[in-house]
Structure 1
Amino acid sequence: MESFDDVCNELSKLVDSADIETKKFVKKQAKILKKKTLEVAKKRVKKKTGYYYKSIKDGKSYEFKGSFACRVYSGAPHAHLIEEGHRIVKGKNGTELGRVKGKFVFRDTANEFKEEFEENSQKMLEELFEKNGF
């Protein structure tokens, strides 16, 4: 049987490698989510909308409230109009002609991706424990 100090040393090595691996994992998952978001955007937004597709990006991984995170976002100034919908207004007096329904690309893609992310997280943890001898 291993001594308590040996187990503590092994656990500290696991913690050190876990931070690096987790950061890489989160970035990799953000790239997968970005790809899926682009696919959904191309299916739902058929009209040419400037550089909306090119503006969908994944950010750097960072630490937020004690855990790692990475954003997938659109840098286009009109992205929120496509995502959430908007009114069609004519003239200075603001006569409303109608309303464009939102496409909800990011929201729906994120909701669909939750299960896959959880499965991938479990696999990553199993590989991390296996790699470090646990």
Structure 2
Amino acid sequence: MAETGFEGLEELDSFTKDMLELAEKEMPRESSKFLKKNANQLKTATKNKAKQLGIIEETGNYYEGFKSGKVYKYNGALSCRAYNTSPHAHLLEYGHLQTDKEGNSVGKGFVPGFHPFQRAYEDFINKYYNNCEQFVDDMINKHGL
């Protein structure tokens, strides 16, 4: 199962980090909704990136396998992930050796991976940081934190 998520906020400034920690303690429901919403956006971005890269649907239900997980605690912070449940997703993500039923190498040999999760993550990270800053602004303006 291929998975990529976004863990931590190490590149945000210290004020934003403090505000997000405060939001997690004071408004856990809103913080969870925020993370789940961003995980869904990452899931959609990954699905679109996979289509852009030309991953063909002949291989099964690859596009139906994209999911976003539940919000959970990871190293003391709230986290959420986007992943693919298709049994062949890891082959399309990382690449694989093309073999016959006996395990002998055939055809092209090694088929390189498409890496849709990594590429979508790289494209999405700036949008995520902007969403975090907007969330902090909303907390300050609407909730007076």
Give the equivalent residue in structure 2 for 1:89: 99
Give the equivalent residue in structure 1 for 2:123: 112
User: RMSD across aligned C-alpha pairs, in angstroms?
Assistant: 2.1
Inter-CA distance 86–25: structure 2 relative to 1 (3 Å threshold): same
Gaps in structure 2 of 5+ consecutive residues: 1-21
Give the equivalent residue in structure 2 for 1:132: 143
Give the equivalent residue in structure 2 for 1:20: 29
Aligned counterpart for 2:113 among listed residues 90, 102, 123: 102
Residue by residue over 1:4-42, the C-alpha shift from the partner in whole angstroms, topping out at 9 and shown as x without a partner, is xxxxxxxx899422x222111000001111111111112
Runs of 4+ in 1 over 2 A off after TM superposition: 12-15, 90-93
Residue by residue over 1:38-92, the C-alpha shift from the partner in whole angstroms, topping out at 9 and shown as x without a partner, is 1111222035220010001111111111111111101011110000011112363
Gaps in structure 1 of 5+ consecutive residues: 1-11
Inter-CA distance 61–13: structure 2 relative to 1 (3 Å threshold): closer
Give the equivalent residue in structure 2 for 1:9: none
Counterparts of 2:105 and 2:129, CA distance in 1:
47
TM-score if structure 2 supplies the norm length?
Answer: 0.76
Inter-CA distance 23–35: structure 2 relative to 1 (3 Å threshold): same
- 8 Å CA contact retained: 2:24, 2:31: no
- 8 Å CA contact retained: 1:14, 1:132: no
- Percent sequence identity over matched residues? 32
Counterparts of 2:57 and 2:139, CA distance in 1:
44
Structure having the higher Rg: 1
- 8 Å CA contact retained: 1:52, 1:79: yes
Give the equivalent residue in structure 2 for 1:37: 46
SS of structure 2 residue aligned to 1:28? helix
Give the equivalent residue in structure 1 for 2:76: 66
TM-score if structure 1 supplies the norm length?
Answer: 0.81
Say how many residue pairs are matched: 122
Counterparts of 1:67 and 1:126, CA distance in 2:
20
